A = this chain, B = another copy of it.
């Protein structure tokens, strides 16, 4: 299954036949005090650096979250979307828990965006899916409902089925425009949880063949040497069927892990990209930059 997104001038295809889709997580004020203050003051200048670093690191899409406390999130989302679309041609993933913010972002966005996110809660489905449909966007969907974030992968699969039924049946959204987030849990909270995430990924792939993405940084939250945990988690998840991740695209270790996984899963014919990336890194090292 192929999820096709685009900016004004560029197309991106997500799917098991394509290289893994790296979504840059950085444009998000969560945990960034200075950035929060800048956003409250209407100063978006930091975003230029975030865009440049993520593009340089290998991002293929950028997540945009403007959820700074006490700021006008909708106005910031509009301004950020316009700014970022002027800075680069990557498709964007519009990330908010507030429907009006998603609506404002979609109205400002040129192309076909990815909406982050909807859950299996009836109220959320009925608020967000019409918007997704109206703007011809794609949507990330999380298999949790009003009651719980289920730990049992089979229960998560049931909620995926509910989402797929509602999105395609009630709202006429093409199934390939549903991207499932199998819910990556922090291994530091409970070391048994990641196996459930991996099992969910396998079940969703085998049952629906849907594309999937997740917040890779969640897995290593609170642990030391987070990059090494992410660099092991991503290949495991890719081997299980994950086709995208919202991740730190500025981390060479993480991006290299993804590119190695592409090579190992036959998404890099003749290893041409792997070898070219190695040569570029060598040339850069020799140039002393």
Interface residues, chain A, with chain B CB atoms under 8 Å away: 187-188, 191-192, 194-195, 198, 219, 223-225, 228-229, 231-233, 235-236, 238-240, 256-257, 260-261, 263-266, 268-271, 274-275, 278-279
Contact = CB atoms under 8 A, between A and B. Distances in A.
Given A195-B266, A224-B274, A278-B225, A257 B232 contact: yes
Given A239-B239, A261-B236, A274-B224, A269 B191 contact: yes
Contacts of A263: 187, 191, 223, 229, 232
A234 to B, nearest CB: 8
B229 A270 contact: no
Name the prevailing secondary structure of the A interface residues: helix
Nearest to A257: B232
A266 B194 CA distance: 8
Nearest to A275: B224
Q: Quick one: copies of this chain in the complex?
A: 2
A159 B233 CA distance: 32
Contacts of A270: 191
18 contacts: A187-B271, A191-B270, A194-B264, A219-B264, A223-B271, A223-B274, A224-B274, A225-B274, A225-B278, A229-B274, A231-B257, A232-B261, A232-B263, A232-B264, A233-B260, A236-B261, A239-B239, A239-B240
Q: Which 10 A-B pairs have the closest CB atoms?
A: A232-B260, A224-B278, A236-B239, A232-B235, A194-B264, A235-B235, A235-B236, A192-B266, A191-B266, A228-B256
A235 B254 CA distance: 13
Nearest to A236: B239
Contacts of A264: 187, 191, 194-195, 219, 229, 232-233, 236
Contacts of A223: 263, 271, 274-275
A268 B279 CA distance: 37
A194 to B, nearest CB: 5
Contacts of A194: 264-266
A223 B272 CA distance: 11
Contacts of A235: 232-233, 235-236, 239
A250 to B, nearest CB: 17
Nearest to A196: B266
A33 to B, nearest CB: 26
